[in-house]
Amino acid sequence: MEYVPGLQGIPATQSKISFLDGQQGILTYRGYPIVELAKHSTFEEAAWVLINGELPNAEQLACFDAELRANRRVKYNVRDIMKILPIDGHPMEALQTCVASLGMFYPGQERMTANGISADSEFVEQMIVKILASMATLVAMWEHIRRGDDPVQPRTDLTYAENFLYMMNEREPDPVESRIMDACLVLHAEHTINASTFAALVCGSTLAPPNLVVASAIGTLAGPLHGGANQRVLNMLDEIGSVEKVSDWLDQRLASKQVVWGFGHREYKVKDPRADILQGLLEDLRVHRKGYLSPLYDIACELERCAEQRLAPKGIYPNVDFYSGLLYEALGIPRDQFTPIFAISRTAGWLAHWKEQISHNRIFRPTQVYDGAPVRAYSPMAAR
């Protein structure tokens, strides 16, 4: 047996959900290019596609949207759980705690069959809707509760993205900003078998309830090697300070072999297609705001230009994290909430993989390459 660190390149499952070609910069959901979905679709429609496999007709999308809107509220007990959490705790830990608790308020694990395959499609669909609808509510609730305020109640007359911005900022959502948030949610909803999705698959293969499947994925996403890079990008741009300092800063950074956050991806050898879309959204926002964007955006553009000369020959280009944090901050989102927004979006992909996994389930039980001591005699304490 050959040990491959990180299981890099080792197929762990078969899936029809998403496809990635890192050489050509192609990402598709169920065969539909992400470029087309981000431009023409909504998060609700993209979630339907991931979960069900095809573009919905008007009636299907309307019914799915109505179910999501009807399930945005969560039990008051969940709010009470949040109120006893430390206010300086990280939002990802608060989110994982509350998602893990949902199964106690919306039980149904007994409806998972013992032979390893769930035939109860009604339970599967109900939990997909309940969890997906709750995610944005939970993230927005924590933002207010940690400031000592009661959470803003969700509204059913708004789209998923509009309602999230309304609950976060407690003001009527701007249509252009809402569309940008919608596109961000579409872009982050799925990305083949990454660390958090693999964690969801492993957890789901045991027939754990879906809220714990998502909670395990959230815990994995919280690690700095998976989620959170977009927050580090902004901190890095703050450190650079101005456009004029970019070139020297980058040379020093590369000379000391430090990470340039937001650049490089294990899968992509060209610029991440999602980064191109996000940069376009920033330009749209700049036009909408009559030319004004954070000075950090100008620093980011100059950093990409300088990095193209130094890193592109090595196949290192901007990834999805390079521009997403700039967009979120421009929309009034605190930096430590960037990864929870990632989780809101990626829940669609996690649940799609959970549904696919339990339709032909087999519990994950990988092996190992043992390189420890051979069999040896036990020594009594007196003889040591």
Enumerate the active-site residues.
265, 321
Q: H/E/C letters for each residue in the chain?
A: CCCCHHHCCCCCCCCCCEEEECCCCEEEECCEEHHHHHHHCCHHHHHHHHHHCCCCCHHHHHHHHHHHHHCCCCCHHHHHHHHCCCCCCCHHHHHHHHHHHHHHHCCCHHHCCCCCCCCCHHHHHHHHHHHHHHHHHHHHHHHHHCCCCCCCCCCCCCCHHHHHHHHHHCCCCCHHHHHHHHHHHHHCCCCCCCHHHHHHHHHHHCCCCHHHHHHHHHHHHCCCCCCCHHHHHHHHHHHHCCHHHHHHHHHHHHHCCCCCCCECCCCCCCCCHHHHHHHHHHHHHHHHCCCCCCHHHHHHHHHHHHHHHHCHHHCCCECHHHHHHHHHHHCCCCHHHHHHHHHHHHHHHHHHHHHHHHHCCCCCCCCCCCCCCCCCCCCCHHHC
**What does the block give as tokens for 152?**
């803003």
How big is the chain by its Cα radius of gyration, in Å?
22
Q: d(Cα 89, Cα 71) in Å, to the nearest integer?
A: 27
Bridge partner residues of 19 (DSSP):
28
